[in-house]
Amino acid sequence: MKYIDEFRDGEVAKTLAGKIAAQVRPDRGYSFMEFCGGHTHAISRYGLTDLLPPNVRMVHGPGCPVCVLPIGRIDMAIDLALNHGVILCSYGDTLRVPASNGLSLLKAKARGGDIRMVYSTLDALQIARDNPQRQVVFFAIGFETTTPPTALAILQSAQEQLANFSVLCCHVLTPAAITQILESPEVRQWGTVPIDGFIGPAHVSTVIGSRPYEFFAEEYRKPVVIAGFEPLDVMQAILMLITQVNDGRAEVENEFARAVSRDGNRKAQDRVAEVFELRHEFEWRGLSVVPYSALKIREKYGPFDAERRFRIDYTTVPDNKACECGAILRGVKRPQDCKIFGTVCTPENPVGSCMVSSEGACAAHYSYGRYKDMTA
Amino acid sequence: MSEVKRGYVRPLDLKHGHIDMTHGSGGRAMVQLISELFARHLGNAYLGQGNDGAVLPAPVLDGRAARLVMSTDCHVVSPLFFPGGDIGCLSVHGTLNDVAVMGATPLYLAAGFILEEGLALADLARIVESMARAAGDAGVPVVTGDTKVVERGKGDGIFITTTGVGVLPHDVNLGGARARPGDVVLVSGTLGDHGVAIMSQRENLTFEATIASDTAALHGLIAQLLATGADIRCLRDPTRGGLASTLNEIAEQSAVGVMLHERAIPVKPVVAAACEFLGLDPLYVANEGKLIVICARADAPRLLDLMHAHPLGRDAAEIGEVLADDHHFVQLTTAFGGRRIVDWLAGEQLPRIC
């Protein structure tokens, strides 16, 4: 397949693995955080760690949209579907995330909630047009990648004066999450989570560009290499990070130049700025309350804000006590360090969000890599 | 199926008519539907007996009473018509294949129809004709059946349950518990065609790839494979859940592991592209005309040669081997050079967000 196979070539991977092995200094360890769940998935699915020297460790980051969504937000969506009688439209991954009272969107659907999986915000808009007598709410989650389509849906429905369409906005921001990790005591004070650099987001960066990461490179002296989601992209990025560390450099480099520019997608940024503004704070699963880390719908588009329209409020709900998703999302623990990993918590019966999406660190390790724990 | 004397005049309007509740009432409308549609297309001597069940001759092989294989399968596909087939031929192929992978020669089929009020008779006729064609091509008659009608909103147009009976030769013993370390895994062709054909048709996904379902009856190919006398341990058709689920079942039943080689697994480029686009893994996508063969290594080359010469096995390939593994994992060496588990499917395959 053109533009795909080239980035999954096993022979090129071998050459890159050889270069990485030649570059790493045996006297030190290298610890890199891949921020995005897309990278976590690629690393597990292609067995990429098998190709890395033992002193290169990949730390999974919080960049999995489903994983960082706190229980209280899913409770709001379930409340809309079960108690407000709306048609709730959601992206597929979100349906299985466990919420309060043993519910998930999928289980709420079985209880009679009209919950529909959509591939695009435009599908949700169409459902609203087709059902003028019903209220239709799009459950908008995700980082900067999924934010522009939500902005477009709101602009479109404003133009069409769709009175029955609104958005439950849970969009979050990547740079704020990276700052939170770099400022965490585990990284900054105790050094229990060594991070020598970041693999920067792929799709997110196509929207926001590479410029926002320059701050991290300068301020925190951490190299950032923006990389695509294909396995060779990740290998190349690891090589570039190792080279930067060895050279004592901390710069933003762009491995994903075929899609990412320094300024990103200006048109998308303008639409987002038109519709959304910063929330003062937002609770993330794992990272707790992070200031200015999420978006809300501007007053001007208030009629399309489901929180306003249905007067629903967010309530914090603590995670299951045994669940280590929080620590795993901060890179403090690995999936296999969690007591309930693979026993109580499995992809069939996820306790924590990291076991839900295939981008989640736990699901990726369970589905693709757990043989390593067994034979080790 | 029962048939009574014709007491009505106007024939079924197969062009513009719809199923209504009377077609399931047991009265004349139902009898008319049966005789003018089902019996007309599926009719044969057994069906024509007109009783609540069909009287069938017991198979005798080489003077001994033969063993029977019986299998049943419910079909609920949406949309009802898709590139490469429809729910009618699918319901015949699905059950024939389930009987055939046991090593049996399929003899008879039974069919149960649950029709939703409002179903266009033209659609029903198309489906029944397609069933009749599939059963005729396979040489396996539908010998009995049943029809019920449910109210609008309580069905999805039509559900079809088919049951198949076949006769098992004395010397054939296939089963999921018979795989052993050293065996090899063959597959008769490209994976994921059916599932992707269906998904590309679903109304909320206008995905314009020209992918046809692979729905087909495999008993002819299977009969040829068995006739070689090769040491075949197990045959399966990897339908719902795809190759991954089928191999996990076999690994569990046989208490072995399986190692697959990603590079060797045949997937059509257009299917791979669609899966890439939808965030799906072709190893988990349904097939309706593919065969997994687990056999002794020494027999693999001639079975592959035979499959390559058959229209349903042109893309056949050896894709992996059976290993000793206490954890019964199905694993994969990736084309990239790494290794990973190919796990059971958890829930449904849902598209990723990012």
Domain assignment present for residue A186? The answer is no
Between residues A253 and A367, the one the model is more confident about: A253
DSSP state of B57: P
Q: A12 lies in which domain range? A: 1-39+47-174+194-319
Average pLDDT over chain A, rounded to an integer: 93
Could B336 and A370 be called an inter-chain contact, meaning their C-beta atoms sit closer than 8 Å? no
Residue B339 near chain A (CB below 8 Å): yes
Please name the residue of chain B whose CA is at the shortest distance from the CA of residue A38.
Answer: B354
Q: B310-324 burial string, b = 16+ CB within 10 Å, else e?
A: bebbebbbbbbbbbe
Q: Which residues of B touch A145 (CB under 8 A)?
A: 353-354
In a domain, A325, yes or no: no
The hierarchical CATH code for the domain B21-168 is: 3.30.1330.10
Per domain, the residue ranges of chain B are 21-168, 184-341
Total domains, chain A: 1
Contacts of B350 in chain A (CB under 8 A): 92-93, 95-96, 117
With CA atoms as reference, report the closest residue to A75 among A107, A37, A43.
Answer: A107
Q: Do A38 and B354 touch (CB under 8 A)?
A: yes
Chain A within 8 Å of B203 (Cβ-Cβ)? no
Output phi, psi for A269, to 5 deg.
Answer: -60, -40
A203–B329 CB contact, under 8 Å: no
Chain B residues lying within 8 Å of A367, measured CB to CB: 341, 343, 346
Of the residues A40, A45, A123, the best mutation for testing chain B's interface (the one with the most B CB atoms within 10 Å of its CB) is A45
* pLDDT value, residue A3: 74
DSSP characters over A212-223: GGHHHHHHH---
pLDDT tens track of chain B, all 354 residues? 444 444 445 788 899 889 988 888 777 788 889 889 999 999 999 988 877 778 888 788 888 888 999 999 999 998 999 999 999 999 999 999 999 999 999 999 999 999 999 999 999 999 999 999 999 999 999 999 999 999 999 999 999 999 999 999 988 999 999 999 999 999 999 999 999 888 887 755 666 657 899 999 999 999 999 999 999 999 999 998 899 999 999 999 999 999 999 999 999 988 988 888 887 889 999 999 999 999 999 999 999 999 999 999 999 999 999 999 999 999 999 988 889 999 987 766 666 655
φ, ψ of residue B42 in degrees (nearest 5): -100, 0
Say if B334 is an interface residue toward chain A (CB within 8 Å): yes
pLDDT at B4: 45
Nearest by CB to residue B354, choosing from A45, A96, A145, is A145
> pLDDT value at position B5?
46
Which B positions 245-274 lie with beta carbon below 8 A of chain A? 263, 269, 272-273
Q: B184-341 belongs to which homologous superfamily?
A: PurM-like C-terminal domain (3.90.650.10)
Residues A146, B354: C-beta atoms closer than 8 Å: yes
Residue A344 in domain:
no
**Distance of alpha carbon A346 from alpha carbon A42, whole angstroms:** 20
pLDDT in tens, A346-369: 887 888 889 888 788 999 999 888
Say if the Cβ atoms of A13 and B336 lie within 8 Å. yes
Mark yes or no for CB contact A119/B204 under 8 Å.
yes
List, in sequence order, every beta strand (DSSP E) within A155-196: 165-171
Per DSSP, the three-state class of A376 is coil
Judged by a CB distance cut-off of 8 A, whether residue A346 touches chain B is: yes
**How, if at all, do strands A136-142 and A165-171 pair?**
parallel
Closest Cβ opposite residue B204 in set A118, A142, A346: A118
∠ CA B206-B210-B214, nearest 5°, is 110
* pTM summary value: 0.84
Would you say B310 and B231 are in contact if contact means Cβ atoms under 8 Å apart?
no
Interface touch B204/A123, C-beta < 8 Å: yes
Residues ≥6 apart with Cβ < 8 Å to A18 = none
Phi then psi for residue A139, to 5 deg, are -85, 100
Residue of A nearest to B268 (CA): A1
CB contact under 8 A, A93 and B350: yes
Closest by Cα among B115, B113, B111, B166 to B143: B111
What does the pLDDT read at residue B58?
79
Please check whether residue A119 touches B, CB under 8 A: yes
Mutate to test the interface with B, among A66, A119, A351, A372 (most CBs of B within 10 A): A119
HSE-up (13 A, CA, CB side) for residue A176 = 22
- Closest CB to B329: pick one of A203, A347, A371: A371
Q: Which of A129, A368, A374 to mutate to test the interface with B (most CBs of B within 10 A)?
A: A368
Q: Is the pLDDT of residue A25 over 80?
A: yes
Residues 6+ apart with CB under 8 A from B174: B101, B102, B103, B232, B233, B234, B235
Interface check A38 vs B, CB under 8 A: yes
Q: Which of B204, B276, B339 lies nearest to residue A4, judging by beta carbons?
A: B276
Tell me which chain A residue has its CA closest to the CA of residue B263: A10
CATH classification at residue A67: 3.40.50.11740
Written as six digits, the tokens of A72 are 């209280």
Nearest to B256 by CA among B294, B299, B304, B300: B294
Among candidates A17, A143, A347 on the partner chain, residue whose Cβ is nearest the Cβ of B354: A143
B324 near A CB under 8 A: no
Q: Quick check: A367 and B272 CB within 8 A?
A: no
How many angstroms away from the CA of B263 is the closest CA of chain A?
Answer: 10
The CA distance from A55 to B300, in Å, is: 42
pLDDT of residue B30: 83
Please give, rounded to a whole number of angstroms, the shortest distance from the CA of B279 to a CA of chain A.
Answer: 10
B353–chain A Cβ distance below 8 A for any pair? yes
Residues in A closer than 8 angstroms to B273, CB to CB, are 1, 4
Q: Per residue in A77-101, pLDDT tens? A: 999 999 999 999 999 889 988 899 9
A47 with B337: Cβ contact below 8 A: yes
- Contact residues, chain A, for B354 at CB < 8 Å: 36-38, 63-65, 142-143, 145-146, 203-204, 359
Q: Which amino acid is at B311?
A: P
Q: Are B335 and B236 in contact (CB under 8 A)?
A: no
B277 close contact with A: CB closer than 8 A: no
| Cβ of residue A312 closer than 8 Å to a chain B Cβ | no
Tokens of residue A80, six digits: 């809309």
> pLDDT tens across A123-136, in order?
999 999 999 999 99
What's the CA gap between B58 and A257, in Å, rounded? 71
- CB-based contact (8 Å) between A252 and chain B? no
Q: Is B334 in contact with A51 (Cβ distance < 8 A)?
A: no
Tell me the residue type at B164: G
Task: Say how far apart CA A81 and CA A67 lie, in whole Å.
Answer: 21
Inform me whether the C-beta atom of residue A139 falls under 8 Å from chain B C-beta atoms: no
The verdict on residue A362 lying in a domain is: no
Q: Residue A223 phi/psi, 5° resolution?
A: -65, 145
Q: Do A47 and B338 touch (CB under 8 A)?
A: yes
pLDDT tens for each residue of A274-321:
999 999 999 998 888 999 999 999 999 999 999 999 999 999 998 888
Residues B303, B230: Cα–Cα separation, whole Å: 8
In this predicted structure, the answer to whether residue A193 has a pLDDT above a threshold of 90 is no
Q: Please report the pLDDT score of residue A30 as a whole number.
A: 97
Amino acid at site A99: A
Q: B343 and chain A: CB distance < 8 Å anywhere?
A: yes
Q: Cβ separation of B335 and A10 shorter than 8 Å?
A: yes
- Using CB atoms, pick whichever of B204, B327, B335 lies closest to residue A374: B327
CB contact under 8 A, B354 and A203: yes
pLDDT of residue B273: 86
Distance from CA of A186 to the nearest CA of B (A): 27
Facing B205 at nearest CB: one of A45, A66, A119 = A119
